[in-house]
Amino acid sequence: MEERFNKENFQYIWSLLLNDNGLEKEKIKFVKSRMISPYFELNQKNINDVISEKNKKGYTIETNPFFRFDDVYSLLLNPDAETEDKNLKESLLNITLHLLGNFDLYAGQTKKDFYCKEIVRDMESGAVGEKVRNNLLLLNMKEKLIIAEVFLEYDEGRNQIKCLKKIVKKFFSESIVYDNKYSDKNIVIYLGHKKDIKTRKIMGIINELFIPLGLKPKYFYEYHFGVLGIGETLVIGNMAVY
């Protein structure tokens, strides 16, 4: 999996304010990093070391306050502005970043929410290919987040076939993804849905993100292929040929 989807790339100030980190919020001091990175909100070289050192009296966390809050801090931290009390600026930065981090949490934004939104943003920018970017154009944000959520599960180590079955079922409730027990080259997917433009776009995304390498998908849309002994699949006019 490409590095840009590694969840360690998505570190925000609120991630250190979560209860599951075991850090006392009042011990955290946010400061402006001397080396600003345009890609991260927390610029600590090894944030995991900070989290693991839980016996410290305090934690100084280097941040890029401009990452999401440029409108707030471009004035407060403007180096061209008149020289003001340095300690006052540092205190204001720390206090306001604590407030903004807590606002994120109170707004119900979980780690998963942020990761999924970052994945959607990357997909929309073409970071995972033009096919995915173009196919996303017909989907609404809720549908994009569904794709991102399952993709995140795959990125975190969930079995790819299980992720494939989950994403197909999310969009097509009558679908069946048949285990490839008898073929190491093909996988059969019944959607139970007519082959319209949006369906083709969704399956185009699934092809790019969830079909395992080396497997060729065979799709059946509105009609299931006939199966001996199952009468519902053997109705003339409602049966696909496999």
pLDDT in tens, 10-49: 467 887 787 656 677 888 889 988 877 777 788 766 566 6
pLDDT of residue 240: 47
Helix segments in 77-216, DSSP class H? 86-106, 111-125, 130-135, 141-155, 160-171, 197-209
d(CA 18, CA 21) in angstroms, rounded, equals 6
Q: Which residues, 6+ apart, have CB-to-CB distance to 52 below 8 Å?
A: none
pLDDT of residue 131: 95
Query: How many CB atoms are closer than 10 A to CB 172?
Result: 19
d(CA 80, CA 59) in angstroms, rounded, equals 29
Decide: helix, strand or coil at residue 190.
strand
* Amino acid code (one letter) for 179: D
pLDDT of residue 186: 84
Closest alpha carbon to 190 in 232, 226, 220: 220
Strand partners, 239: 224
Residue numbers in the chain where pLDDT is lower than 70? 1-11, 19-22, 44-56, 79-84, 108-110, 180-183, 224-242
pLDDT of residue 148: 95
pLDDT of residue 38: 74
pLDDT of residue 6: 43
- Which whole-number Å values give the CA distances from 28 to 16, 48, 49, 87, 226, in the listed order? 8, 14, 14, 16, 64
d(CA 66, CA 132) in angstroms, rounded, equals 30
- Which whole-number Å values give the CA distances from 190 to 4, 84, 97, 193, 219, in the listed order? 32, 67, 50, 9, 6
Q: Which two tokens stand for residue 54?
A: 């839980």
